[in-house]
Structure 1
Amino acid sequence: MQTIIDLALNWFLHLDAHLAELVALHGAWIYLILFLVIFVETGVIVMPFLPGDSLLFVAGALAAKGLFDPWILFVLLSSAAIIGDALNFTIGTIVREKAIDTHRIPFVKEEHIARTHAFFERHGGKTIILARFVPIVRTLAPFVAALGAMPPRIFFFYNVTGAIIWVGLLVAAGHIFGTIPWVNQNLTLIVIGIVILSIMPAVFSWLHARKQPN
């Protein structure tokens, strides 16, 4: 188990180097790998811990070096995010129709469902867009939206809009800042910073909930 954790941590801390190695080894096939990572993170409810935000930023930074085409990244990964959320929403719809209690769904922690429900209560349908920028919540949001019987056409609008904004902003940010020498030399720190920023809304939400009277 420790070896798996060490390997995952190594990939996370040196994501730029590992992606560059994959490009050298697999060429254009790396686009398919990136597509699958984003698709799985957004579409498979038991896989919310893949590095979506950091992966998009680092891919954009590598595009600035000529390793990727930024427009192909944008179109392909936006499509992966849209399809992933659509699959997640479909699964949630099937679960709702079978009247399965959400507290009994395997591999989904009750507090994560509660946190995502809280997002919906505060932000409504915009949660689908806002959740794109929050790890774990972005994986659960389409599922919970389906459990809450959000109309498919409304979900489709927020799904497409959120995917375009999420992928576009992070890939563009990576591409723009990837030309700055300091950023290239400190990508690991940038990736850690992205993760910290992305989890801050959930942390503030948790702290706010702790302050509420029982």
Structure 2
Amino acid sequence: MIAALTPLLYTLGPAALLLVMAVVFAESGLLIGFFLPGDSLLFLAGALVASHVIGLPIWLLAAGVLVAAVVGDQVGYLIGRHFGPRLFSRPDSRIFSQDNADHAQRFFNRHGPKAVVLARFVPVIRTFVPAVAGVGHMPRRRFTLFNILGATAWSIGIVSAGFLFGGIPVIAGHIELFTIGLAGLSVIPGTIAYVRGRRQQKAAPAVVHTDILV
């Protein structure tokens, strides 16, 4: 997916910000957006700002990503709050993986409210945790607080990393290869969580609860 988005970032100029925000929103707020390359896209965007391919100040890129991430998580929370019980009880479909939802549920149960912050840095999990928080009726104010904290750290951290390292000639000359490598690295936490979840499932069948106390 990052290979398809890269040419657009090179050609859109300042309007690339809208594309980045749309991807971040979809990955954060729409359950079908779990396959989108949020981490690698932000790193690439930061690098392209550093190389003046995208003519925007870095703070504006980070602010746009922050807004899209916060709003996306709020939408995901509302989806879980209003439609979650029905959605999470339906069998697998082409656009919804019950397995992904179960992993997010266990992640949330293990880490509590701080999972909203931690999940922001874990691909796939970050798509489903807001909905899980909504299903569990986590207080809206508390969710919003942790949502803002996680989105701020994620957006500023990864965009800044791209901006700083993207200015290095070796990386600037091979941005596409570097972001593909980053995309590969970004799936490692999700893979580890998946393997652990499968092992726990074999050891003892997991029971998914919707009455989470937070």
What are the superposed Cα offsets for residues 159-195 of structure 1, whole Å, 9 maximum, x if unpaired?
0011111110010000000110111122233223322
Question: TM-score with structure 2 length normalisation?
Answer: 0.84
Distance 2:78 2:198 in 1: 33
Name the SS of the counterpart of 1:108 in structure 2.
coil
What are the superposed Cα offsets for residues 102-133 of structure 1, whole Å, 9 maximum, x if unpaired?
12176321110111012112211121111112
1:4 aligned residue: none
Q: Percent of counterpart pairs with the same letter?
A: 36
- The answer to whether residue 159 in structure 2 is matched with residue 171 in structure 1 is yes
What are the superposed Cα offsets for residues 41-89 of structure 1, whole Å, 9 maximum, x if unpaired?
2111112212211111011001112223101101111001001111111
2:144 aligned residue: 156
Moved beyond 3 Å, runs of 4+: 209-212
Give the one of 1, 4, 21 matched to 1:11. Answer: 4
Structure 1 residues 34-43 or 158-167, which shifts more?
Answer: 34-43
Q: 1:37 to 1:206 in 2, by over 3 A?
A: closer
Q: CA RMSD in A?
A: 1.9
Q: 1:37 to 1:210 in 2, by over 3 A?
A: closer
- The answer to whether residue 46 in structure 2 is matched with residue 57 in structure 1 is no
How much does 1:9 deviate?
6.5
Give the aligned residue type for 1:29: A
1:187 aligned residue: 175
2:12 aligned residue: 22
Number of aligned residues: 198
Give the one of 62, 73, 80 matched to 2:68. Answer: 80
Distance 1:95 1:64 in 2: 42
Give the aligned residue type for 2:11: E
Unaligned runs of 5+ in 2: 205-214
Unaligned runs of 5+ in 1: 1-7
How much does 1:101 deviate?
5.7
- The answer to whether residue 196 in structure 2 is matched with residue 203 in structure 1 is no
- The answer to whether residue 155 in structure 2 is matched with residue 134 in structure 1 is no
Distance 1:69 1:203 in 2: 35
How much does 1:210 deviate?
3.8
Q: 1:9 to 1:156 in 2, by over 3 A?
A: closer
